[in-house]
Amino acid sequence: MITETLIVRDISNSTVQIQLHRPEAYNALNTEMLCAIGKHLEEADKRENIQCVILVGDERAFAAGADVSEIKKINTGNYPEDERREAWQQIRNFRKPIIAAINGFAFGGGCELAMHADILIASKTAQFAQPEVKLGLMPGAGGSQYLPSRVGKAAAMLMNLTGMKIDAQKALDIGLISELVDSDNALPRALELSERMSSMSQSALIANKSSILRSYELGQSEALMKERALFLEQACSADAIEGINAFLEKRKPQFNS
């Protein structure tokens, strides 16, 4: 499916690829694009066969930031705040794994969108920044919240207070991305990981993602209690019973979800 802002297609029986498609604007995140991402994630969440979603831009940019012409509308009262807030919430609510395959610019809202992914694969061409301060602004979709939890206070302060950009190697060194690959290999590596996930139990993938995210949102004691509850629930699932039996019987498991 090709729209004015996205190219969405099934690239396997278990994986949906969502490609940001505003090349004339370096894939800047306007409201139409954000709402479309949220909509397609909701649809993928409902499809039982889908295990994973891959987010990708193009060779020049993952996403160069928010659409500044829309931000200008905040003072006029015409800014689509409700739509944008709902779209970001839809992205955050997606239960299944998201892999971001990143080439080129991931600035501002683009960096924030990447941080909403669970696994970030960046090529050597990737660059990251939270440059809002250079426009007299600040991040509005996680750049001052997710970034410190990923890279620590020192690196987050440096990026947010100076607007400086960092290359992919630096992003790997500070823990912003999961893996660094050669140019043109970000999407192939994302595909490789999505195929690996396709053989996993969907309920186990969802439980793992949920538990890890809670570790950032809750105190450790409460998060540990939630983890234990999820573990006990998952251990009673049909997939866990099949996985344990397959291990003991030395065969490949056949998961139902």
Q: What is the structure's pLDDT at 223?
A: 64
pLDDT, tens only, 75-116: 777 778 889 889 999 999 999 999 999 999 999 999 999 999
Question: Measuring CA to CA, how many Å separate 62 from each of 37, 55, 127, 139?
Answer: 14, 9, 9, 17
Q: Between β-strands 6-10 and 15-20, what pairing exists: parallel, antiparallel or unpaired?
A: antiparallel
Label residue 195 by pLDDT band (50, 70, 90): very high
Burial 54-63 (b: 16+ CB within 10 A, else e): bbbbbeebbb
Q: What is the structure's pLDDT at 26?
A: 94
- Residues of the chain with pLDDT > 90, as a percent, come to 65
251 pLDDT more than 90: no
Q: What is the structure's pLDDT at 246?
A: 82
Active-site positions read 66, 109, 112, 132
Whole-model pTM over 0.75: yes
